Amino acid sequence: MSGKVLAFCFVVGAFVADLVFRSFSKFELRACFAILCAGLLLQSLIDFYTHRLVRQISHALACSGVLLLSLNAANNSNYDFLVSSSVCAILGIAVSFFSNKISRGSLGAGDVRLMAVLGWHLGFIGYSTAMLALFLACVLAGLFGVVMIMLRRGSISVWPPIM
């Protein structure tokens, strides 16, 4: 990994850490979203170099999210957050699974798992936030794909086939 990539990751990580710290006052929420952001940044780097998402990282993000967000809901005696998280996680799975079928596998199972993790975490904040974030995740993934193609680290295929 080049020094430029590491410097970029450090700057992005510091910026995101500051946003997480400012956005949440409870320790478990700060920890949960800091872990999420660190895992997403790590997954992005791995995806850039290998075109794969690591299942163990996605599972660790899911487990830490369930544990920390459930702890926060129990501490506040407000379990509505867990309902919205569950609904958004299921919606994330459904949208990405449907996209996987349409794209003929261009969107892999790792992406489906990651969308469930994003839906769970962001559903805790609220439905509208989760829906906007899942939409933006799809748009940013498309832009990332275009950058990968421009850097000749990816390829484009036309679907549906042009007759």
pLDDT in tens, 79-107: 888 898 899 889 888 877 777 777 665 66
**Average pLDDT estimate for 115-124:** 88
Question: Residue 38: which region, alpha, beta or left (left: phi > 0; alpha: psi -120 to 50)?
Answer: alpha
pLDDT tens profile 132-163: 887 887 777 778 777 877 887 666 664 444 44
Instruction: Specify whether the CB–CB gap between 21 and 4 falls below 8 A.
Output: no
CA-based nearest residue to 99, from 56, 145, 54:
145
Ordered by start, the domain boundaries in the chain are 3-150
Helix residue ranges, H only, 1-158 = 3-23, 27-50, 55-76, 80-102, 109-125, 127-150
Instruction: Specify whether the CB–CB gap between 39 and 33 falls below 8 A.
Output: no
Which pTM value belongs to this model? 0.77
What SS3 class is residue 155? coil
